[in-house]
Amino acid sequence: MIEATGGIYTVRTGEGTVEATVRGRLKLSGNVRDKVVIGDRVGVVEVWGGGRVIESVEPRRTYLARRAAGGRVAKVVAANLDRLVVVASVADPPATPGVIDRMLVMGEAGGMDACVVLNKVDLARGRAVAAELAELYRFAGYGVVRTSAVTGEGMEAFREVIRAGSSALAGPSGVGKSTLLNAIDPRLELRTREVGRRSRAGRHTTVSSRLIFLDGGGVVADTPGFSDVGLGDVSRAELDHCFADFRPFLGGCHFNDCVHIHEPGCAILAAVGAGKIRRARHDSYGTILEEL
């Protein structure tokens, strides 16, 4: 399913795209709990009198789940995407590791590959800030691309990331997600913020969800509401697995149920002490753990 607007679902089939509705009870399987989202593999049947109905949803290989601001339950907004591209800007607004880390967790929790794009390196001190952040995330094991949609720096590398398979872009409002996508496929004409204009918090221009098939290859999910980084359905017990740099050390703790905050014999704390895990990453882990 590639687009959902007001109860009408667009589905890609062997013979092109068709529109369908969901009526009655959906046959759900595996990890699919409630509804059909973009990226879902669905079964469509023709019904008497014409028209098509989605009747089943296949288990999801990956999912992107988020929680609305103040909401309690996580909502899956896209399925079966290969990667989450975490976009941050080095200034205007300035990136913070805390925000980047939360989004990386969001990607890891849903089984997606995660990588980091540091945009707006053209701004003052931009290259220095980007170099520091790039070092931090490469050390943690993530791919990092540094870009400027203004000068074109890094755009070829960004295109390479997007060209393979399917991606979702996540990142605070104003970091340049739409601008970056427009730069690699001008046909898209995604709305971007006008210069000098502040976005009003809580307002999103995108109301429908869709998968965009890019000119140069690659598929990108366009989903509303990604300026908010409420984590999805990550459990306390799985949080440590969502930090790529923790994984080599997991299982080495003295206590089986170690949460890696102050337990004796903790392999994660030992790795932090030995400089194998950066303290900033462990700080983010602690902050997120407290919230879950």
Ligand X SMILES: Nc1nc2c(ncn2[C@@H]2O[C@H](COP(=O)(O)OP(=O)(O)OP(=O)(O)O)[C@@H](O)[C@H]2O)c(=O)[nH]1
Q: Which does 266 bind (CB under 5 to 8 A by kind): ligand X, Zn ion, Mg ion, none?
A: Zn ion
Residues 64-123 that bind ligand X (CB under 6 A): 119-120, 122-123
As a whole number of angstroms, the longest Cα–Cα distance in the chain is 69
| Rounded-to-integer distance, Cα 284 and Cα 279, Å | 9
Q: How many residues bind Mg ion (CB under 5 A)?
A: 2
| Rounded-to-integer distance, Cα 184 and Cα 163, Å | 10
- Give whichever of 174 and 218 is closer to ligand X, judged by the CB atom: 174
Contacts of 39 (CB under 8 A, 6+ apart): 1, 2, 60, 78, 79, 80, 81, 166, 211, 221
CB of 140 to Zn ion, least distance (A): 17
89 touches Mg ion by CB under 5 A: no
Residues facing residue 27 across a β-bridge: 56
Angle between helix axes 155-163 and 177-184 (nearest 10 degrees) is 90
Q: Scanning the structure block, which residue is given the tokens 């790795």?
A: 271
Q: How many residues bind ligand X (CB under 6 A)?
A: 20
178 touches Mg ion by CB under 5 A: yes
What is the H or E stretch that residue 46 is in?
strand 42-46
| Rounded-to-integer distance, Cα 49 and Cα 27, Å | 22
Site mask, ligand X, residues 117-156, x = CB under 6 A?
--xx-xx------------------------xxx------
When binding is defined by CB under 6 A, the residue of 10, 56, 96, 192 that contacts ligand X is 192
CB of 120 to ligand X, least distance (A): 4
282 touches Zn ion by CB under 5 A: no
Binding positions for ligand X, rule: CB under 6 A: 119-120, 122-123, 148-150, 171, 173-179, 192-193, 195, 199, 227
Binding positions for Mg ion, rule: CB under 5 A: 177-178
Binding positions for Zn ion, rule: CB under 5 A: 253, 258, 260, 266, 268
